[in-house]
Amino acid sequence: MTDSATALGIDVGGTNLRIAEIDAAGRILSRHAERVTNGRDAFSNRLAELVATHRSPNVAAIGIGIPGRVDAAAGLVLSAGYLDIGGLPLAGWLGTATRLPVVVENDCSMALIGECAVGAARGAENVVMFTIGTGIGGAIIQGGRPLHGHATAGQLGHITVRPGGERCNCGRQGCVETTSSGTSLGRLIREAGLATDTTVQGLFARSDAGDDVATAVLRAWAEPMRDAATSMAAAFDPDLVVFGGGLGGAMVRALGRLPPETSWYNYDIRPAALGDDAGIIGGGLWALASLRRGKAPQASLPAFAAEAGHLPVFNPQP
Ligand SMILES: [Zn+2]
């Protein structure tokens, strides 16, 4: 691998697929987005076509984020939400088709890798991330590497915050996804009797003007999220907790307005900084990091940051 080596970062969403060529400093050299192609064969074939089209001579590896449960060590997609690609041995298949090394992670893990390298969590090596959109996703970076557990750790939308609460898609009740997602915010707005087209910015504006109903909706949305984030802080003692997804910035703002809570657990919160680019940047950088280590599961984020020569390395205080 040479200094000019680049990687293709691919971010597969439920609706759109993004592919970009990323250099070792996390810069986007070229990019393309399109509607995602569903179904195992159609998805795989389209992916190989896209790689062939967007691959420059410098591309040395591929990193793919999948919106669902991934066995990263095996390069296997276990399930991918609305996409029917469960069971696809993606790393092996695409690696054979393109003759490039391929790493596969959950999409939120790839986004967090991007944020740790060049975004909101730049230089940190222990970070928890929640992505707030239609549902709630999550990822954990510990010691500069995504935490996988047995295979699929980081399903942070399914932390129980309201025992006996609303039924969740996962089969349990009172998960934070049922209280603090975008879907939940829409429900809270309806239940409060506000216009159904009320936006979160509208809620902040009304709250600033002294509207108690809007203030109560924001509080009901953010308070369970704080419970989930504090539980993660108790479990993982992160350098910071990042909130991404379409509503990540709004959640940080809403959390900042909650009445203070005293506990043993203090942690920094920050909105994600890279927006929709986090996944492609993280995918590309993680593929390059994995190349440097020679074997994907042993690559670590701070090591690649130091070797890249452009990125600061986080030095925890003794
Ligand atoms: Zn759940």
Nearest to 108, CA basis, from 143, 74, 81: 81
Higher-pLDDT residue of 313 and 93 is 93
CB 136 within 8 A of CB 227: no
Q: Identify the band that residue 14 occupies on the pLDDT scale cut at 50, 70 and 90.
A: confident
138 CA → ligand 1 middle, Å: 12
Q: Give the list of residues 6+ apart from residue 190 with CB closer than 8 angstroms, or none.
A: 196
User: What would the pLDDT profile of 38-87 be if each residue is shown by its tens digit?
Assistant: 999 999 999 999 999 999 999 999 999 999 999 999 999 999 888 999 99
Return d(Cα 59, Cα 110) in angstroms, integer. 18
What does pLDDT average to over the chain? 91
187 CA → ligand 1 middle, Å: 17
173 CA → ligand 1 middle, Å: 7
Task: Report the Cα 78 to chain-centroid distance in Å.
Answer: 17
265 CA → ligand 1 middle, Å: 24
Q: Which of 93-107, 150-164, 301-315 is predicted with the least confidence, judged by mean pLDDT?
A: 301-315
133 CA → ligand 1 middle, Å: 15
Helix (H, G, I), strand (E, B) or coil at 124: coil
172 CA → ligand 1 middle, Å: 5
132 CA → ligand 1 middle, Å: 14
176 CA → ligand 1 middle, Å: 7
Phi and psi (nearest 5°) for 290?
-65, -35
181 CA → ligand 1 middle, Å: 11
Sheet containing 28-35: order of strands: 28-35, 16-22, 6-12, 59-66, 102-106
User: What would the pLDDT profile of 276-285 be if each residue is shown by its tens digit?
Assistant: 999 999 999 9
313 CA → ligand 1 middle, Å: 35
184 CA → ligand 1 middle, Å: 13
pLDDT value at residue 305 = 44
Phi and psi (nearest 5°) for 312?
-70, 150
Q: Beta strands 126-132 and 136-142: pairing type?
A: antiparallel
- Tell me how far CA of residue 3 lies from CA of 7, 62, 311, in angstroms: 12, 16, 15
308 CA → ligand 1 middle, Å: 39
226 CA → ligand 1 middle, Å: 17
Helix (H) or strand (E) run with residue 44 in it: helix 40-54
pLDDT of residue 309 exceeding 60, the answer is no
97 CA → ligand 1 middle, Å: 36
- Tell me how far CA of residue 277 lies from CA of 4, 21, 121, in angstroms: 21, 12, 15
236 CA → ligand 1 middle, Å: 20
pLDDT of residue 3 exceeding 80, the answer is no
- Tell me how far CA of residue 224 lies from CA of 64, 168, 199, 249, in angstroms: 31, 15, 20, 16
Give me 138's structure tokens.
């999550």
159 CA → ligand 1 middle, Å: 7
74 CA → ligand 1 middle, Å: 25
Rg, Å, the chain Cα set: 20
Share of residues in the chain with pLDDT > 90 (%)? 86
pLDDT value at residue 2 = 59
pLDDT value at residue 81 = 82
pLDDT value at residue 297 = 44
Spell out the domains of the chain, with CATH numbers in brackets: 6-107+277-306 (3.30.420.40), 120-273 (3.30.420.40)
pLDDT value at residue 1 = 57
pTM of the shown model: 0.90
116 CA → ligand 1 middle, Å: 27
Give me 106's structure tokens.
């959950």
CB 191 within 8 A of CB 145: no
157 CA → ligand 1 middle, Å: 6
pLDDT of residue 298 exceeding 70, the answer is no
Q: Identify the band that residue 304 occupies on the pLDDT scale cut at 50, 70 and 90.
A: very low
Q: Identify the band that residue 186 occupies on the pLDDT scale cut at 50, 70 and 90.
A: very high
Q: Identify the band that residue 123 occupies on the pLDDT scale cut at 50, 70 and 90.
A: confident
User: What would the pLDDT profile of 228-260 be if each residue is shown by its tens digit?
Assistant: 999 999 999 999 999 999 999 999 999 999 999
Q: How many residues in the chain?
A: 318
pLDDT value at residue 293 = 81
Higher-pLDDT residue of 308 and 144 is 144
pLDDT of residue 299 exceeding 60, the answer is no
pLDDT of residue 15 exceeding 90, the answer is no
pLDDT of residue 175 exceeding 50, the answer is yes
307 CA → ligand 1 middle, Å: 39
CB 128 within 8 A of CB 232: yes
